[in-house]
Structure 1
Amino acid sequence: MTISPIILTLIILLLALVSFVCEFFPVDTTAIAITILLILCKLVTPEQGLSGFSNSATITVTAMFILSAGITRTGGLQIVRDLLFRLGGKSLKKQIAALGIIVGFISAFINNTAVVAVFLPIIEGWGKKRKISLSKLLIPLSYAAILGGVITIIGTSTNILASGLSEKLGYGEFSIFLITPIGIPVFFIGLFYLTFIAPKLLPDRKSVNNNGLDVDYDMKDYVSEIIITPRSSLIGQTLRQSGIQRKFDVDVLEIIHNDIHFPQPLADKILSLGDILLVRGSKEDLLQVRDERGVDILADVKFDKDEIEKELSFGEDKVAEVLILSNSRLISSTLKDLRFRQRYNATVIAIRRGEELLRERLGKVRLKFGDLLLVQGPRESFIGLQTTRELLVLEEREVETLRQNKAYIAISIVFGVVIVAALNILPILVSSLVGVMLMIFTGCLKPGEIYGAVRWDIIFLLAGLIPLGIAMETSGTNKLIAEYIVSLGSYLPNYLILVIFYFFTSLLTEVLSNNAAVLLMLPVAAEVAKNLGLNPISFMLVVMFAASNSYMTPIGYQTNTMVYGPGGYRFLDFTRVGLPLTLIFTFIVPLLIIFVYGL
């Protein structure tokens, strides 16, 4: 029996949705698997299956990631730091407004994930300086970046993808400033909400005091000192030979010999009688070490909340939080597999994953995007961590790691790309590629840095899902779904149909991803508009705005995930703050689109 192409496409679509929601595999892996399945089922040709990699939207998004890296690598965004501090003042409302205006404007032209990555350490330091809880600032930071991303087409990869889909459907690409008449009112409505309403809904959770480690990571019971006694089998052995870090779930953070503190690396340090080892480990593991290796556990009462950080950060050592970024090769690996201590000359003491705090069996934990690592090691190790494109140290980057003399060149290149495309001198695809080459030729980026600048998970997601859109179009699935929606909505006002599209796309974005939502919903919206004899551009823009404005969960949008751990948020904090904003836009955005573009 032959299964009809529509039924087969719907089955594959359902499999994709289940995999995205349940996170059986990373989203990019699922997308590529779906493409292979579509080819095997002959729903698309091999050429159509690979067309996502040559699609103009995919290439443009790749180029925009590189241009954003040029800005951040030269410290272009740090230029506005002093302006933020000056405008912020002492009032929380004023601070959120200043933060929103600055971050929103930048996010209109620079990838908003890169903007949040740069501003996270700045806001962390600002919060501590002003004695403001970070949970009052980081959701506004994320939301402002999202709001800024819908001011122009190049603000997010979702907008660029929507533009590419519009061209493929025969309606032409969106110009850079096509959505600006809608994006600016949406931005200021959102900013008003963040400034005057959100502060009442935001939690006051994460400590801003210097003794925050004990509060945030509860390290009192996990950082202790052990002393090597005359009966200890560790005497005369190196730390590596002793095997205590391999056999027991403990990490030696420091060795103190005759009041001299020896930092990492410690593996080849010979242990002597009377040496004191500063270790991370549970009481159960420490008791095992005591019984089997003949050491004594020093009274841990000395570690009150004021002294833990001092002990961990003694001399040339320091302790800081490090965020795993979305393009990190560390994702899905364990600290043991990565040989993290040897690779970065630093030790992970604890891992915060959203509301969950992990302090045991850290070597076996598979790392995820958004994980916050509490890391201890020599100060020079953190300079190395600051230069990696896979981890973000939540403190302001050392000046010497940035090419600050190239900052204005990088900014000029990006604005040149925008102006050339806006004046229709060159298509955005061409102007962005020219901008990439200029970033390299002017020294803003080194050739080898462009590969690390690209969010390959997003690129493979786009390239993998574009063939699914082709299959839905060629099999008639889009037309069938559109006819069903038209039959259901034939008695509804056209405005309410747009409202339904906005809300449903918003929900889909929260459980899938913004790019997946726009790939699935935009062609259907265009088909519905065609069947109703309405303006397809208005319907497509409603879907695009809904997919790009994700506020209700920490997993619906990359910037929300990035601030989840550093802000000390709980999952429902995003729902409490984001749901009212989503409902406001559900009714306002369709009205604005009808007013500007008509039906």
Structure 2
Amino acid sequence: MIDALRAFIEAHQAVLALAILAAMFVGFLMERLPATVIAILGACTYLALGILDAEAAYSVFSNSAPIVIGAMFVLSGALIRTGVIQRVADAIMARAEKHPRLAIVEVLLGALVASAFLNNTPVVVVLLPIMIKLAEVTGISAKKLLMPLSIAAVLGGTLTLIGTSTNLVVDGIVRDAGMPRFGIFEITPIGLVTAASGMISLALMWWLLPSDKPIKGDAGGGEGPLYLTELALQDGDDLIGARVEAFKGLPRSGRIVGVRRASATVHGADLECWTLAEGDRLIVRVDAATLMTWREQRRFRLGIGSGNPAENDMVVETMVAPTHPSIGQRLVDIPFLQKIRARIIGLDRPLHEPGPDLASVRIRAADRLLVTGGPREVEALRDNPGLIGADLAKTRAFRRGKAWIAILCMAGVVTLAALEVMPIGVAAIIAIGVILVTRCIDSDEAWGTIDGDVLILIFAMLAVGVGLENSGAVAMMVGWVKPLLAEAPRWVLVFGIYFFALILSELLSNNAVAALMTPVTLAIAAELGVDPRPLVIALMIGASACFATPIGYQTNTIVYAAGDYRFVDFVKIGVPLNIITGVSTCLAIVFFLT
């Protein structure tokens, strides 16, 4: 019985491989399980049936694409950790105060350029709150700005080999097939046509973008939580004797709420002419990363509480439980401040502005606190029944002094790869070694920046692609299409591969489509005796430049939720944009490369 089953599987491997692939497509579309799980199930089924043997399965781990993608995640994380991204965002907002409408164009072009070298998902995440603020300043609906932000980021990914993980996946499979690797700027001439046609079309179709206000109050975006804190000026500080406006340590997201001197607190217009003195306490609302940076700098005495900061102090993030006995009382009277050596350095209250100063805040359930203390104090906070989820804070201080190292490492990777001094994977791994040794980013943070779902999905789909090829399924598919394409002009082949990849990517993961279609594309090119490189470039861009659905690309999904869009909003803009960019790209490939 078993021998008969094995014989049946061996005789019908190609058909079974395609049937499993079809089942995976159905699973991707139904979305009852994550795409990563479906991909793993497909690869495991190939293994269990013997369609994919162990040696072939292990071979996918030698593909350089996932390693390069992971390395680029880490390098992007280093730019965030060293404050480079925040500085850029602050500069944009400073300019937006003077020229808000021009700033919108600059942000979109900035997203386009940045996404050519950085993973476009963090680019959109960083620029999302900036776009929301620009919407408030200009009176333009956030819905008219957030979708263009995603479109610009997607178009930017088509400009270079490292612009999107999809390009790297295709390049890895191409190299495994024995073809020369792609240069980092090899697709740039075609990508420029794609980007230019997309941005011009977007400008012409601006009127099609929805103009209603998002239902969500902040468009689902905004910065992270802003903590209320107090900065006590110490003897010899440069701010003593200066006006409040002389304090330049705030990011654009932060603001000075007031100044407390003894029992008096100054707010509002009175701050403009207030001269600071020793012992004054600046009342500030600021993001957690900046707050942690001030703590490391030890310039100010932060927050309220007992004891002096010690070297082994840690920061705990916790939430006030509804059963806390001090609810309704002032924060300064919270019992643990009197019982243990701890300081509250920040308080966040979602959707409300606590105040007027940190000590006077009346405690409410769900208030989030940042508390410093030694190991004993941390244990005491964890054991406190009035606090929920007391654990070490994950937010860390910016390492601004190492920003130049992170910038040089990223620039070095791009330069070395562009000049073909060394493969991009080798350059990226060396760069990671440099940023880890110089502590631009800690190792646990570095590995935390890597999107494991993306890498596992790529490995699983690479395995499925190898199974399809080894089983004869790829040859079978090529046999089906060869009679249709044998006498067709080369431009038909370019258009066909581009738009087939585009349609699949609107429904499935871009990386999955790239992993599946690259072997098929190479086989079609070999069977027809044509140069595979133009077809591969069409596949790269077609699998990435998809705008018609909010699930077509990860950045689309982000702005879909943040901007409170409807599904049809993407269809209305995305379908014509897909057609225009697709036709422009294919014509450029035909004209320049075939």
- Do they fold alike, i.e. is TM over 0.5? yes
- One-letter amino acid of the counterpart of residue 407, structure 1: A
2:399 counterpart of 1:403: yes
- One-letter amino acid of the counterpart of residue 342, structure 1: I
State the partner residue of 1:268.
Answer: 323
Give % identity.
35
Q: Structure 2 CA distance, aligned partners of 1:411 and 1:37?
A: 44
Residue 190 to residue 448, structure 1, CA distance change in 2 (3 Å): same
SS in 1 for 2:320: coil
**Greater CA radius of gyration, 1 or 2?**
2
SS in 1 for 2:389: helix
2:82 counterpart of 1:74: yes
| 1:89 shift after superposition | 8.0
What is the correspondence of 1:441-460 to structure 2 with a 5 Å cutoff? 441-460=437-456
Alignment counterpart, residue 154 of structure 2, candidates 128, 142, 146: 146
Which segments of 5 or more consecutive residues in structure 1 lack a partner in the other structure? 218-262, 277-308, 321-340, 346-380, 388-399
Alignment counterpart, residue 128 of structure 1, candidates 133, 136, 144: 136
State the partner residue of 1:507.
Answer: 503
Residue 560 to residue 24, structure 1, CA distance change in 2 (3 Å): same
Deviates more, 1:545-554 or 1:129-138: 129-138
SS in 2 for 1:565: helix
| 1:82 shift after superposition | 4.9
2:574 counterpart of 1:578: yes
Alignment counterpart, residue 543 of structure 2, candidates 521, 539, 547: 547
- One-letter amino acid of the counterpart of residue 9, structure 1: A
Residue 456 to residue 45, structure 1, CA distance change in 2 (3 Å): same
Q: Structure 2 CA distance, aligned partners of 1:450 and 1:344?
A: 24
Q: TM-score, normalised by structure 1?
A: 0.69
Which segments of 5 or more consecutive residues in structure 2 lack a partner in the other structure? 222-317, 330-348, 356-360, 367-386
2:417 counterpart of 1:421: yes
Q: Structure 1 CA distance, aligned partners of 2:136 and 2:533?
A: 46
- One-letter amino acid of the counterpart of residue 165, structure 1: I
| 1:416 shift after superposition | 0.4
2:160 counterpart of 1:114: no
State the partner residue of 2:388.
Answer: 342
2:61 counterpart of 1:53: yes
| 1:47 shift after superposition | 2.8
SS in 2 for 1:342: strand
CA contact (8 A) 2:111 2:153 kept: yes
Residue 97 to residue 56, structure 1, CA distance change in 2 (3 Å): same
Q: Structure 1 CA distance, aligned partners of 2:481 and 2:513?
A: 17
| 1:59 shift after superposition | 1.1
Residue 476 to residue 177, structure 1, CA distance change in 2 (3 Å): same
- One-letter amino acid of the counterpart of residue 179, structure 1: I
CA contact (8 A) 1:36 1:49 kept: no
CA contact (8 A) 2:194 2:582 kept: no
- One-letter amino acid of the counterpart of residue 150, structure 2: S
CA contact (8 A) 1:28 1:461 kept: yes
Q: Structure 2 CA distance, aligned partners of 1:318 and 1:534?
A: 70
SS in 2 for 1:402: coil
CA contact (8 A) 1:56 1:429 kept: yes
SS in 1 for 2:562: coil
| 1:204 shift after superposition | 1.5
Report the number of matched residues.
Answer: 447
CA contact (8 A) 1:135 1:202 kept: yes
- One-letter amino acid of the counterpart of residue 411, structure 1: I
What is the correspondence of 1:393-542 to structure 2 with a 5 Å cutoff? 401-542=397-538
Q: Structure 1 CA distance, aligned partners of 2:429 and 2:158?
A: 22
Q: Structure 1 CA distance, aligned partners of 2:461 and 2:351?
A: 50
CA contact (8 A) 2:73 2:451 kept: yes
Q: Structure 1 CA distance, aligned partners of 2:351 and 2:77?
A: 36
Residue 168 to residue 54, structure 1, CA distance change in 2 (3 Å): closer
CA contact (8 A) 2:60 2:459 kept: yes
What is the correspondence of 1:299-310 to structure 2 with a 5 Å cutoff? none
Q: Structure 2 CA distance, aligned partners of 1:592 and 1:343?
A: 56
SS in 1 for 2:550: coil
State the partner residue of 1:199.
Answer: 206
SS in 2 for 1:268: coil
Q: CA RMSD of the aligned region, Å?
A: 3.1
Q: TM-score, normalised by structure 2?
A: 0.70
SS in 1 for 2:154: helix
CA contact (8 A) 1:52 1:462 kept: no
| 1:183 shift after superposition | 1.1
